[in-house]
Structure 1
Amino acid sequence: MPENSINAGPCVCLSGEAYADCCGRFHDGGAEAATAEQLMRARYSAFALLNAEYLRKTWHPDTAPSDLELDPGMEWRRLDILSTSRGGPLDAEGTVEFKAHFRHNGERGVHHETSRFVRENRRWYYVDAVMLA
């Protein structure tokens, strides 16, 4: 999909906002996520749009993988934020529990985890996650 049609359409994180006003502003470097949930949504959108650069940029250096390959066959369909704990603009840490629905090789699935985030130098970073059933 051409970039201008992505920017004009709804955000893939399903926030109800236009991509350009939601995750797009984080992806293009025009803004930083103010909360852990915003970063979670932006990272989900980056996975859906195969934006490995943004994922690397927002992964805490202490836990980031040395290599990150995204599967173009993975089709992310829906993000459900189930709960958040802390993670506000003045917090130093936070968690976000979510379910990300996907389709891969014709099979449907759900990725369920609680992600942990830290805020350092006014920027949120993804640290790690606990996978849930």
Structure 2
Amino acid sequence: MKDACPCGLARAFEACCGRYLGTGRPVPDAEALMRSRYTAFVRGDTAHLLATWHPSRRPLALEVDAGTKWLGLEVKRHTPVDADHAEVEFVARSRTQGRGQRLHERSRFVREQGCWFYVDGDILN
């Protein structure tokens, strides 16, 4: 598919995560936010990453490694805890300097004033 979204949903970027990156448009749920954040890492969109990070945990600045090639995202589980809290377990694969990496994380998200934010996560083995 031409200009496929990196998040793995087999949709065109503009019809998928492109609806959220750089638009300020709120995502519908924590899984969509996770996917848009992965896409932002792939595209080097630090503005989206910072804007969707909860202010209580947001770093002042963020740099993405331009040498990292993102290879894929697998969302294993999206668990709504209540109307404003959710967890997303995912595996993101990448390659940096020829070395494969795998990030398996259970991330926590919160919705405030209609917007979902990434709070933090636990690295899983």
Which residue pairs with 2:111 in the alignment?
A: 119
* Match for residue 101 of structure 2 among 95, 99, 109: 109
Determine the C-alpha separation between the residues in 2 that align with 1:51 and 1:30: 13
| Runs of 4+ with >2 A deviation | none
Which residue pairs with 2:89 in the alignment?
A: 97
Determine the C-alpha separation between the residues in 1 that align with 2:40 and 2:3: 15
Deviation string, structure 1 residues 90-109 (Cα, Å, up to 9, x no partner):
82000000000101100111
Determine the C-alpha separation between the residues in 1 that align with 2:61 and 2:43: 18
Aligned length: 124
Determine the C-alpha separation between the residues in 1 that align with 2:43 and 2:74: 17
Alignment of 1:48-63 (within 5 A): 48-63=42-57
Deviation string, structure 1 residues 95-132 (Cα, Å, up to 9, x no partner):
00000010110011101100100000000000000011
Higher helix fraction: Structure 1 or Structure 2? 1
| Amino acid of the structure 1 residue aligned with 2:4 | P
Determine the C-alpha separation between the residues in 2 that align with 1:30 and 1:24: 11
TM-score calculated relative to the size of structure 2:
0.95
* % identical aligned pairs: 39
Deviation string, structure 1 residues 48-99 (Cα, Å, up to 9, x no partner):
1000000000000000112211100111110000111107xx8200000000
Which residue pairs with 1:17 in the alignment?
A: 11
Q: Over the residues paired in the alignment, what is the CA RMSD in angstroms? A: 1.3
C-alpha contact (below 8 Å) 2:22/2:47 kept by paired residues: no
Determine the C-alpha separation between the residues in 2 that align with 1:34 and 1:107: 35
